[in-house]
Amino acid sequence: MYKGAMFRDKVAERPRPDHLQSLFTSASVCFAVCILFSATAVAASGFLPARQAMAGETSDPVIEQCTRIGHKLGSVTIRQCLDRKLEDSGARSVNGQVIMMKDYPPLPGREPISRVLLIGGTHGDEYASVSVVFKWMQTLDIYHSGMFHWHVAPLVNPDGLLQRRSQRLNAHGVDLNRNMPTPEWHEKTRKYWDKTRKDPRRYPGEAPLSEPESRWLYEEIRSFKPHVIVSVHAPYGVLDFDGPPAGPRKLGYLHLQLIGTYPGSLGNSAGIQHQIPVITVELPHAGIMPSRGQISRMWMDMVAWLRENTPKQRTVDAYAAFDETTRKLMPSRAIVDETAPASPVAKPKQLLSSEPRSHLSGL
């Protein structure tokens, strides 16, 4: 790779600064007009249901979100986002934004080895976690061979990312990676939060699955039944693993370093409680992209590991008891109820984004 390309890769993930933003404005206005035009046409025929999106048409909430992603991220253009043909999952964030998803289904004549759920952008200020998932989708779009059945959601927390000043938390001020059901959630998340001196960036919420984004994720796990979950974060530069042993020792330049689990985290909930392997990819920088070489080495190592190590029998067996495990974790709520209103959330008083990050406390 020539030097210039590498340089571009490495700086590309910074969100576009304001002076660059203005450069994009004229192009964006032009594009937005075109988008509006087509959106109007779509609107005239009524709301585009997810089924149609799955048939290859792009729904307007997806067009709208891709436009915002293209404006926000240096490494994903509007066109690149639209070209991924993401679908409207039907789920909405606190502020009503779509959670986009793409299904890479089994192909004729080939039984997939396993089902894989790949997610990015759980924390809205970890820009590279969204962009790297987009890059991997680009690879999948070309090379999907039916070896695995993939579900990919590059941006779980659209409200966190898609605002002027991106933030880790969702629009209720909740850390989605502390809002998943785990044993004695109320006691343990409170204790943990107290230990962080009530760091607003670690606020777990009022109840497990109080947030629409975490409800979507949990329901997606329950219905898709992935044999492994890959969740991309930043900026600690390690690989973490939870669930039936053992995880990959390395993916590209990231090496396994078991961090331990937090109450309310995805690794604890899906990995430990439901016995679904959770690979947490912690990129080294939130605002700087890995090189193209690293992006592809991580991908190849991941696929090689998935091929050899999934599905794990313990995961397959554990799915038979999924709802029972949920009942134990959330005795007051028998099954995930998508229509249940979110519990009122008391927001912490401190500023949301000025807290220093203590080492490895932010997975």
Q: Report in angstroms how near the CB of residue 231 gets to Zn ion at its nearest.
A: 8
Q: Report in angstroms how near the CB of residue 162 gets to Zn ion at its nearest.
A: 17
Q: Report in angstroms how near the CB of residue 3 gets to Zn ion at its nearest.
A: 31
Contact letters (x/-) for Zn ion, 119-158, by CB under 5 A? ----x--x--------------------------------
Q: How far apart are CA 224 and CA 211, in angstroms?
A: 20
Region from 111-119, 186-194, 198-206, 225-233 binding Zn ion, contact rule CB under 5 A: 225-233
Between 114 and 167, name the residue whose CB sits nearer to Zn ion: 167
Q: Report in angstroms how near the CB of residue 122 gets to Zn ion at its nearest.
A: 6
Q: How far apart are CA 217 and CA 326, in angstroms?
A: 14
- Residue nearest Zn ion, CB atom distance: 233
Region from 1-9, 88-96, 115-123, 240-248 binding Zn ion, contact rule CB under 5 A: 115-123
Q: Which of residues 302-361 bind Zn ion (CB under 5 A)?
A: none
Q: How far apart are CA 251 and CA 104, in angstroms?
A: 22
104 in Cβ contact with 113 (< 8 Å): no
Q: How far apart are CA 282 and CA 216, in angstroms?
A: 22
Between 53 and 73, name the residue whose CB sits nearer to Zn ion: 73
Between 62 and 283, name the residue whose CB sits nearer to Zn ion: 283
Helix, strand, or coil (residue 118)? strand
Closest CA to 199 of 363, 9, 361, 33: 361
CB atoms within 10 A of CB 49: 13
Between 126 and 220, name the residue whose CB sits nearer to Zn ion: 126
Q: What are phi and psi of 177, to 5 degrees?
A: -90, 20
**Site size for Zn ion, by CB under 5 A?**
3
Which is it for the CA torsion 290, 291, 294, 295, positive or negative?
A: positive
Amino acid type, 331:
P
Between 215 and 233, name the residue whose CB sits nearer to Zn ion: 233
Which is it for the CA torsion 239, 320, 338, 349, positive or negative?
A: negative
Q: Report in angstroms how near the CB of residue 352 gets to Zn ion at its nearest.
A: 15
Write the CA distances from 27 to 30, 75, 76, 77, 110, integer angstroms.
5, 17, 15, 12, 43
Q: Report in angstroms how near the CB of residue 245 gets to Zn ion at its nearest.
A: 23
Token digits of residue 114? 């396993």
Reported as type and span, the H/E element at residue 230 is strand 228-233
Between 123 and 178, name the residue whose CB sits nearer to Zn ion: 123
Q: Report in angstroms how near the CB of residue 262 gets to Zn ion at its nearest.
A: 11
Between 140 and 234, name the residue whose CB sits nearer to Zn ion: 234
- Identified binder of Zn ion from the candidate list 233, 239, 271, 290, rule CB under 5 A: 233
73 in Cβ contact with 79 (< 8 Å): no
Write the CA distances from 132 to 153, 236, 285, 290, integer angstroms.
12, 15, 12, 8
Between 126 and 301, name the residue whose CB sits nearer to Zn ion: 126
Q: Report in angstroms how near the CB of residue 59 gets to Zn ion at its nearest.
A: 28
Under rule CB under 5 A, residue 201 binds Zn ion: no
Between 68 and 178, name the residue whose CB sits nearer to Zn ion: 178
- Vertex 121 angle, CA 231 and 218, to 5°: 60
Beta-bridged to residue 150, according to DSSP, are 104, 116
Region from 4-12, 51-59, 117-125, 151-159 binding Zn ion, contact rule CB under 5 A: 117-125
Contacting residues toward Zn ion, per CB under 5 A: 123, 126, 233
